[in-house]
Amino acid sequence: EGGVLQVSAALKEGQVTPTQLCQRCLALIRSTKFLNAYITVAEETALKQAEESEKRYRRGQPLGVLDGIPISVKDNFNTAGIETTCASNMLKGYISPYNATVVQKLLDQGAVLLGKTNLDEFAMGSGSTDGVFGPVRNPWSYSRQYKEKSASKSHSEDEESNWVITGGSSGGSAAAVSSFTCFAALGSDTGGSTRNPAAHCGVVGLKPTYGLISRHGLIPLVNSMDVPGILTRCVDDAAVVLGLLAGHDPKDSTTIQDTFEPFELPDFTDVSKLTIGIPKEYHAPGLSGEILALWSKAADLFKNAGAKVIEVSLPHTRYSIVCYHVLCTAEVASNMARFDGLEYGHRSDMNESTESMYAATRREGFNDVVRGRILSGNYFLLKQNYENYFIKAQKVRRLIASDFVKVFRSGVDILLTPTTLSDAVPYMEFIKEDNRTRSTQDDILTQAANMAGVPAISVPAALSERGLPVGLQFIGRSLQEKQLLTVAKWFEKQVKFPMIQLEEVKRLDHDILQHQKSASFS
C-alpha cells in the first residue's frame, strides 16, 4: 500500500520482486472485477514485462525508479498490440500499431502495463458511466468507512444499488489507483476529467500545464485543452511520474520547446512566504455546505502556518461552462470526422452508398452523448454561426485566461478551491440527469484551468459525512509545477487523509500471508 518510491526501494532491496508485485495486482484486479475499472487486462504482457524487470534488478541494473512498478492507462491512449477502445463501439477491437508517447516513456522506464482503464465514451462525461462497457464503481462504495455510515440508512436498500460513481471521465484510472490494483495511472483532463474522479476516489489527480506533456497518441477530445493526467496515491508519486513524462516531443507540435528539469519535492516547506488566493467565484451554486466548510478549514490551515490568505476574483469564471460547451463541441465535431469506418474501427454493413455507410457507421458506433456533441459542434461551425459562437467563445476564453494571469501577477502564488460540488453521488441518482446536465454542473470548478492551460492538482482532504472522499484543488502558474506540488505535498501532510479499508485488499493480503507461512513450513 505504499507509494512508488517506497515500492521502488523494496524492489531494489529484493524485499519483493516485480513478478510478485505484478501477480498481486492482477489478483486484486480479479477480485475487484465488480468495480469495472478495467476494460482490458493485459495479463500475459504484464507478466512478461515483470519478468524482464526482474532480470534487470537481479543484474543490479534497474532502468529507474519506475522499473517493475505496475501501472494502468486510460483506454483513450494508444497502446501497441493492446486494444484501445475509448469505451466506444466505434473502436471495439481496435488494436493500435503504435504507443502514445507517454505510454512509450513509461515502458522505456520499465513500468509494467497492467491494462486499459474504463472511461466515459471518448472521455465525454463526468461520471465514467457512459461508456459501452458499463459504469465504473467507486471503490469507496465498498469501503468500511462508507458502509459504516450508510448502515444507519435504510437496510432494505440493496448494497448493490447503493454504490457511488467515481466521477469522470478518468474514473477507471482513479478507481484502479484507489483500490491498490496499480501504483499510478494515466488519465486525461480536458475539463476536469482527472481531478474530478481523483477527488471522488480519494487519490491525487494532477493536471499539468498544457504543452508540458506530449499528447501524441492520446485520442483527442479538445486538442487545445486536453492534457495527459497523472493519478497516484500521494503527491510525491505524481512528481516522480511527471518527471518521467514531461518534455518536448517532436511528434507533438504543441509541446513546449524548453527542456524540463525533473524535481524532487522537499519534505519540509515554509508556507509563510506564500500568498494563497481564494477565488470567490468558486463558491458556486450547489456547493455543499460540507465542502464549503472543508475549504474554509484548509484556508485556515495555511493562515495558521503563516501564509497570506486573501480573497481574489476570477470574474469570468461563470462564463467558462458555456464557453467550454461551444469550443469543446466544435473541436469534437472536427475530431470525430475521421471515424467513417473506412480505414479502421467499426464499419456498418450498410453498403448502398458511401454516404449511407458513413451515416450508419457513425450512428452505430457513437453513443448519444458523442453524437449530440458532434451535432452541436457542427452547428456552431456553420458559416453563419461561426462569428457569433466560435469566435465569441475564443474571445471569452482569452478573458478567462487573463483572469488567471492578472491574479498571479498581483502576487498570488497558488489558488485554493474545491474540486467538486459534493462527494460522490450514488449511481442511481447520478443517471437521473443527462450527461450534458451533469457535465455542466460538475465541470464548473475544474474547467477554467483547462481554458487557461494552467496546472492544477486535486489532493484528498477529508472524508465526508457519508464516509466518502472529498478533495481540494490547488491551481498554479503555468509551468510552475514544482511550486504547485510543493504546496500540495505540504497540505497532504497536514490533513493525513485516511487509507481506504477494502475487504478485498485485506483478504488478498491475508491469503498472501497464509501462503508465505505455509511456504515456510514446507
Task: Give 263: exposed, middle or buried? Use CB within 10 Å, 0-12, 13-18, 19+.
Answer: middle
* Distance in Å, CB of 367 to other proteins, minimum: 16
Q: Does the protein bind other proteins through residue 220 (CB under 8 A)?
A: yes
* Distance in Å, CB of 275 to other proteins, minimum: 32
Q: Does the protein bind other proteins through residue 382 (CB under 8 A)?
A: yes
Nearer to other proteins, 91 or 369 (CB): 91
* Distance in Å, CB of 118 to other proteins, minimum: 18
Nearer to other proteins, 251 or 515 (CB): 251
Pairing of the two strands 112-117 and 70-74: parallel
CB crowding 53-84: b at 16 or more within 10 Å, else e: bbebbeeeebbebbbbbbbbbbbbbbbeebbb
Q: Does the protein bind other proteins through residue 378 (CB under 8 A)?
A: yes
CA distance linking residue 105 with residue 453, whole number of Å: 23
Query: What cell was used for 257?
Result: 520547446
The catalytic position among 72, 170, 178, 193 is: 193
Q: Does the protein bind other proteins through residue 261 (CB under 8 A)?
A: no
- Please list the alpha-helical segments (H only) found in 60-184: 101-108, 144-151, 171-178
* Distance in Å, CB of 515 to other proteins, minimum: 41
Phi, psi dihedrals of residue 213, rounded to the nearest 5°: -115, 140
CA distance linking residue 2 with residue 34, whole number of Å: 24
* Distance in Å, CB of 393 to other proteins, minimum: 11
Q: Residue 419 region, left (φ>0) first, then alpha (ψ -120 to 50), else beta?
A: alpha
Measured N-to-C along each axis, helices 320-335 and 392-409 cross at an angle, to the nearest 10 degrees, of 130
Nearer to other proteins, 252 or 509 (CB): 252
* Distance in Å, CB of 372 to other proteins, minimum: 17
Nearer to other proteins, 60 or 97 (CB): 97
Total residues in contact with other proteins, by rule CB under 8 A: 45
> Is 193 in the active site?
yes
Nearer to other proteins, 79 or 417 (CB): 79
Render 186-255 in DSSP notation, one character per residue.
EEEESSSTTHHHHHHHTSEEEEPPTTTB--TTBPPS-TTT-EEEEEESSHHHHHHHHHHHBS--TT-TTS
Binding other proteins by CB under 8 A: which of 342, 428, 499, 513?
342
CA distance linking residue 158 with residue 135, whole number of Å: 18
Q: Does the protein bind other proteins through residue 338 (CB under 8 A)?
A: yes
* Piece of the chain touching other proteins by CB under 8 A; list 218-226, 270-278, 285-293, 491-499: 218-226
Binding other proteins by CB under 8 A: which of 10, 47, 265, 381?
381
Query: What cell was used for 81?
Result: 498490440
Sign, CA torsion 55/58/62/67: positive
Measured N-to-C along each axis, helices 368-381 and 320-335 cross at an angle, to the nearest 10 degrees, of 100
Q: Does the protein bind other proteins through residue 322 (CB under 8 A)?
A: no
Q: What is the dihedral of CA 51, 55, 60, 62, to 10 degrees?
A: -40
CA distance linking residue 401 with residue 8, whole number of Å: 39
Pairing of the two strands 308-312 and 204-207: unpaired
Q: Does the protein bind other proteins through residue 96 (CB under 8 A)?
A: yes
Binding other proteins by CB under 8 A: which of 13, 44, 160, 355?
355
Nearer to other proteins, 218 or 505 (CB): 218
Q: Is 398 helix (H, G, I), strand (E, B) or coil?
A: helix
CA distance linking residue 496 with residue 500, whole number of Å: 12
Nearer to other proteins, 220 or 467 (CB): 220
Residue closest to 315 by CA, chosen among 396, 257, 259: 396
The catalytic position among 53, 74, 143, 170 is: 74
* Distance in Å, CB of 150 to other proteins, minimum: 41
- Please list the alpha-helical segments (H only) found in 336-480: 354-365, 368-381, 383-386, 392-409, 427-430, 435-442, 447-452
* Distance in Å, CB of 247 to other proteins, minimum: 16
Interface mask toward other proteins for 100-129; x: CB under 8 A? x-----------------------------
Binding other proteins by CB under 8 A: which of 155, 383, 432, 517?
383
CB crowding 350-359: b at 16 or more within 10 Å, else e: beeeeeebbe
Nearer to other proteins, 249 or 413 (CB): 249
* Piece of the chain touching other proteins by CB under 8 A; list 19-27, 124-132, 209-217, 418-426: 209-217
Q: Does the protein bind other proteins through residue 389 (CB under 8 A)?
A: no
Footprint of other proteins on 395-424 (CB under 8 A): none
Binding other proteins by CB under 8 A: which of 92, 98, 305, 431?
98
Nearer to other proteins, 174 or 330 (CB): 330
Pairing of the two strands 70-74 and 184-189: parallel
* Piece of the chain touching other proteins by CB under 8 A; list 19-27, 55-63, 285-293, 347-355: 347-355
Nearer to other proteins, 236 or 340 (CB): 340
Binding other proteins by CB under 8 A: which of 125, 171, 208, 217?
217
Q: Does the protein bind other proteins through residue 216 (CB under 8 A)?
A: yes
Residues assigned a catalytic role? 74, 169, 193
Residues of the shown chain interacting with other proteins in the complex, contacts defined by CB under 8 A = 77-78, 84, 86, 91, 96-98, 100, 215-220, 222-224, 250-254, 330-331, 333-334, 336-340, 342-344, 351, 354-355, 358, 378, 381-383, 386, 390
